């Protein structure tokens, strides 16, 4: 792709850097270059929206979930569907992916023009990278990267099992158990290039938690986390 050559002049050096991260040399370098092109940079340099990493992120998200599901299915043969679902949710959560993205050095490659720091771009870029590997090398290569480079090298499964991350689900379960009504009220605030979402958790019409983030889901999780840590933990 011609537009990517304007951003990454030294193709060979870039490819070698990617090889050190994923464990094999890329065939089609342009996929990997696109995986690190954030939509904020697109607006700055007047590229088209589909040239950002969002389409690869969409694909990588699905590939990552499939690989992780199979990994957990094989690793925990005696665990039921509920257990596997909750553990998978922790492993592919935005928080986990953001940490992994930085751990493997993706922050050195991301091309973004953000006025405010957004940690989610690291997790987004990681998903886009997985999408790029899948297109370039196929499912087995993507599986090798996820299982060997991410799950086995950088994640302590036992620690993840003991760590609570899905506060929204825990709060909802508690409300059902206590027969209490609940609702998450969402308001939007324009923040130039991105929308900022504000969430309020109301339980029996009482305000119990607040959260603000650049996605609705994250804002709701933050509101639920505030209540969970102050009341249920």
Same-domain check for residues 67 and 122: yes
Domain final residue, candidates 114, 133, 162:
162
Q: What is the pLDDT of residue 232?
A: 80
3-state secondary structure of 146: helix
Q: Which residue has the higher pLDDT, 48 or 98?
A: 98
Is pTM beyond 0.75? Reply is no
Q: What is the dihedral of CA 15, 18, 22, 25, to 10 degrees?
A: 10
CA neighbor of 94 nearest in space, from 126, 135, 117, 62: 126
- Identify whether residues 171 and 157 lie together within a single domain: no
Residue 81 sits in the same domain as residue 125: yes
Domain boundary among 108, 135, 162: 162
pLDDT > 70? residue 220: yes
Of 12-26, 85-99, 111-125, 211-225, the range with the lowest mean pLDDT is 111-125
Q: Of 119, 145, 162, which one is at a domain's C-terminal end?
A: 162
Same domain, 13 and 118: yes
> Do residues 47 and 122 both lie within one domain?
yes
Coil, strand or helix at 198: strand
Residues 157 and 178 reside in one and the same domain: no
Planar angle of CA 31, 32, 37, nearest 5 degrees: 95
- What percentage of the chain reaches a pLDDT higher than 90? 55
What is the DSSP annotation of 23-34? SS--SSHHHHHH
Together in a domain, 62 and 84: yes
pLDDT value for 41:
78
Burial class of 119 by CB neighbour count within 10 A (0 to 12, 13 to 18, 19+): middle
CATH number at residue 225: 3.30.160.20
Q: In the predicted model, is pLDDT for residue 25 greater than 80? A: yes
If asked whether residues 110 and 19 sit together in one domain, one would say: yes
pLDDT on residue 89: 85
User: How many domains does one find in the chain?
Assistant: 2
Say yes or no: 135 and 211 in one domain: no
Nearest Cα neighbor of 108 from 6, 20, 213 is 20
**CATH number, domain at 127?**
1.10.1520.10
Is 44 in the same domain as 59?
A: yes
| Residue 213 β-bridge partners | 197
**11-31: buried (b, 16+ CB within 10 Å) or exposed (e) per residue?**
eeebbeebeeebeeebeebbb
CB 149 within 8 A of CB 21: yes
The pLDDT tens digits for 156-203 are 888 887 776 678 888 998 999 899 999 999 998 876 567 789 999 999
Is the domain of 155 the same as that of 222? no
Q: Which residues span the domain enclosing 64? A: 2-162
At 222, list the tokens.
Answer: 């933050």
Residues 111 and 57 in one domain: yes
DSSP codes of every residue in 32-98: HHHHTB-HHHHHHHT--GGGSSHHHHHHHHHHHHHHHHHHHHHH-TT--HHHHHHHHHHHTSHHHHH
Residue-level pLDDT at 49: 57
Residues acting as catalytic residues:
61, 127
**What sign does the dihedral 155-160-164-168 (CA atoms) show?**
positive
């Amino acid at each position: 792709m011609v537009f990517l050559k304007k951003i990454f002049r030294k193709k060979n050096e870039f490819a070698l850097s990617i090889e050190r991260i994923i464990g094999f040399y890329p065939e089609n370098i342009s996929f990997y270059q696109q995986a690190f092109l954030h939509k904020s940079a697109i607006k700055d340099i007047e590229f088209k929206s589909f040239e950002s990493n969002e389409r690869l992120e969409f694909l990588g998200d699905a590939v990552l979930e499939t690989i992780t599901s199979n990994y957990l299915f094989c690793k925990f043969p005696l665990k039921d569907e509920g257990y596997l679902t909750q553990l998978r949710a922790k492993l592919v959560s935005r928080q986990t992916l953001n940490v992994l993205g930085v751990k493997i050095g993706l922050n050195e490659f991301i091309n973004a023009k953000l006025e405010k720091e957004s940690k989610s771009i690291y997790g987004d870029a990681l998903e886009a990278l997985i999408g790029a590997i899948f297109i370039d090398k196929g499912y087995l290569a993507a599986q090798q990267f996820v299982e060997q480079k991410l799950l086995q090298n950088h994640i302590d499964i036992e620690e993840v099992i003991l760590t609570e991350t899905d506060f929204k689900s825990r709060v909802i379960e508690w409300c059902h158990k206590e027969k209490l009504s609940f609702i998450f009220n969402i308001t939007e605030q324009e923040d130039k290039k991105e929308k900022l979402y504000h969430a309020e958790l109301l339980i029996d019409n009482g305000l119990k938690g607040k959260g603000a983030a650049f996605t609705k889901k994250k804002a709701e999780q933050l509101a639920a986390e505030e209540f969970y840590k102050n009341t249920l933990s």
